C-alpha cells in the first residue's frame, strides 16, 4: 500500500502540526501495537480521501517524545488539531465513520 499520510516526528512537529493552518488528524501508533495495525489502513484511506482538505499524519510513539508531551497514555490515539490546537481526541480503534464525522465537523466549524 502506498503511504499517503504525512510522517510526523519531533523534528517536523512545529511545521507539520503546531503551525499548520487547517485541520489535521494525527494517528499516534507503534509497530508492535495490534490495534494500531487495525486502524492503520483506515488512516491511509482518510489520507487519500481528505487530500487537499485536511492533513492526515502518523507519529511513531516509540521513536518520538511528543506523545508523552501530549499526555498520550494508550495507543492508538488519534488527535484532531485545528490551526495547531488540539480540538478532539479518540483513544483506541474507532470506526472509520466516527473519524469521518469528526473531520467533517471540524472542517466546517468556525
Active-site positions? 33, 36
- The DSSP bridge partners found for residue 89 are 79
* Phi, psi dihedrals of residue 9, rounded to the nearest 5°: -135, 170
Q: Do 46 and 25 form a contact (C-beta atoms < 8 A)?
A: yes
Strands (E), the chain: 6-8, 23-29, 55-60, 77-82, 85-91
Position of cell 499520510? 5
| Residue written as grid cell 486502524 | 39
Amino acid at each position: 500500500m502506498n503511504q499517503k499520510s504525512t510522517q510526523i516526528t519531533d523534528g517536523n512537529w512545529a511545521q507539520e502540526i503546531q503551525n499548520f493552518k487547517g485541520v489535521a488528524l494525527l494517528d499516534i501508533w507503534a509497530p508492535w501495537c495490534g490495534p494500531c495495525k487495525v486502524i492503520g489502513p483506515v488512516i491511509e484511506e482518510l489520507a487519500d480521501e481528505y487530500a487537499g482538505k485536511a492533513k492526515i499524519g502518523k507519529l511513531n510513539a516509540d521513536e518520538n517524545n511528543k506523545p508523552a508531551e501530549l499526555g498520550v497514555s494508550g495507543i492508538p490515539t488519534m488527535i484532531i488539531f485545528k490551526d495547531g490546537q488540539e480540538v478532539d481526541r479518540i483513544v483506541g480503534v474507532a470506526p472509520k465513520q466516527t473519524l469521518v464525522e469528526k473531520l467533517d465537523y471540524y472542517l466546517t466549524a468556525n
